[in-house]
Amino acid sequence: MAGTGTAHMRSEGDRVLTVDDLVVEFPAGGGQKVHAVSGISFDLLDGETLGILGESGCGKTSAGRAVMQLPPPTAGSVKLNGAELTGMSAATLREQRKKLQIILQNPVAALNPRRKVKDLVAEGPSVWGGKPDRKRVEEVLEAVGLDPATVWDRRPHELSGGQCQRVCIARALMLDPRVLICDEPVSSLDVSVQAQILNLLEETKTRYGLSMVFIAHDLAVVKNISDRIMVMYLGKICEVVPSAALAGSALHPYTRLLLESVPDSDPAAVLDGAKQENSEPPSPLNPPSGCRFRTRCPLATDQCAQEEPKLRQAADGHHVACHNVDI
């Protein structure tokens, strides 16, 4: 399967979030299962942004939702500030989830169309029995670049997509989270608005002392906002690399294939003479044995079909799961 192991995990120290051997499977009828996430591990340090990169269907969104316990993972461990979330009682989990907020891909669909902005932003604290005063709501709206006087009594359909995403961010910040999971928060927005939201997330992270998990399939977006990038393929980890080293130092054939797919990408990141014999990924109902990327990999050998590669350290903070990469 593309890669396994925990060589990339850091010492306990400043870890805010620790995910160990996470498995997410969904029933598909006829006794089959969709193997969305198959035993991945990662951690998140205080103040860090971890980017999760991969093409559609690689399991990145399923992993993010499983961290939130929406729904709980099939197996594995999720620890937030040392507290094990998996298996927690519903009441205790509800309390812990205040520290772990998510921003969804479609901002318009994420907001109740019947409610006004003032109520949407105040919703979280209100659920906990303490409706915030107007000053607090206005402060958060201003922090995300919205004029309270303009948007206060508006409903989602009266806002642009970018404004709706800002409302979603403001709503998440009202509960003072430690970790913010961003599930493709800019993929449905115009390019100019994408830049505004990305800058806003960076500013918000610094102002509120957040750690972030940023999920996306856009390589440039993930590279620009992340400190560390985890590349996923068909439910497994291929490579973990510092953001600054992605273009020039990527080692895994899949990561380099992603780089090659970007127009005018760094030639150093391109596999010389690499050709995709099969551009269609395998089905998650029946993943290939061994390395899951082997059916599309130009470097595949018999060993790749028989043995699952483990993550190995290539450099400081850089780990790759491939039998045929020299380290």
Structure token pair of residue 2: 């593309």
**Cis preceding linkage at 71, omega within 30:** yes
Residue 243: C-alpha distances to residues 92, 137, 206, 220, 229 (Å): 35, 34, 18, 10, 6
Domain annotation covers residue 17:
yes
The domain total for the chain is: 1
Residue 7 has a pLDDT of 82
Residue 3 has a pLDDT of 60
Residue 18 has a pLDDT of 94
Residue 277 pLDDT greater than 70, yes or no: no
Residue 52 pLDDT greater than 90, yes or no: yes
d(CA 54, CA 94): 30
Band (179; pLDDT cuts 50, 70, 90): very high
d(CA 310, CA 292): 12
Average pLDDT over residues 204-225: 90
d(CA 54, CA 64): 13
- pLDDT 10s digits, 12-33: 667 899 999 999 999 988 889 9
Work out the mean pLDDT of the chain and round it to a whole number.
88
Q: What does 295-323 look like in DSSP terms, one character per residue?
A: TT-TT--HHHHHS--B-EEEETTEEE--T
Domain annotation covers residue 152:
no
- pLDDT 10s digits, 71-107: 899 999 999 998 999 989 998 998 888 899 999 888 8
**Bridge partners of 183?**
215
d(CA 296, CA 254): 9
Domain annotation covers residue 294:
yes
Query: Is the sign of the CA dihedral 60, 61, 67, 72 positive or negative?
Result: negative
**Side chain identity, residue 87:** G
Give the distance, in angstroms, between the CA of residue 304 and the centroid of all CA atoms in the same chain. Answer: 27
Residue 212 pLDDT greater than 70, yes or no: yes
3-state SS record for 166-223? HHHHHHHHCCCCCEEEEECCCCCCCHHHHHHHHHHHHHHHHHHCCEEEEEECCHHHHH
Q: What's the CA angle centered on 40, arms 318 and 251, to 5 degrees? A: 30
Residue 56 pLDDT greater than 50, yes or no: yes
Residue from 309, 305, 278, 280 nearest 294 by CA: 305
Domain annotation covers residue 282:
yes
CB 2 within 8 A of CB 293: yes
d(CA 8, CA 27): 31
**Bridge partners of 94?**
none
Residue 196 pLDDT greater than 90, yes or no: no
Domain annotation covers residue 239:
yes
Band (217; pLDDT cuts 50, 70, 90): confident
Q: At what angle do helices 191-208 and 161-173 cross, to 10 degrees?
A: 10
Backbone angles phi, psi at 151, to 5 degrees: -100, -5
Band (149; pLDDT cuts 50, 70, 90): very high
Domain annotation covers residue 148:
no
Residue 273 pLDDT greater than 60, yes or no: no
Residue 267 pLDDT greater than 60, yes or no: no
Helices and strands per DSSP (H, E), number in the chain: 11, 12
Residue 278 has a pLDDT of 52
Domain region containing 230: 1-81+217-327
Q: At what angle do helices 161-173 and 134-143 cross, to 10 degrees?
A: 130
More confident residue, 170 or 11: 170
Q: What's the CA angle centered on 13, arms 12 and 17, to 5 degrees? A: 60
- pLDDT 10s digits, 151-161: 999 999 999 98
Domain annotation covers residue 178:
no
CATH, residue 45: 3.40.50.300
Domain annotation covers residue 61:
yes
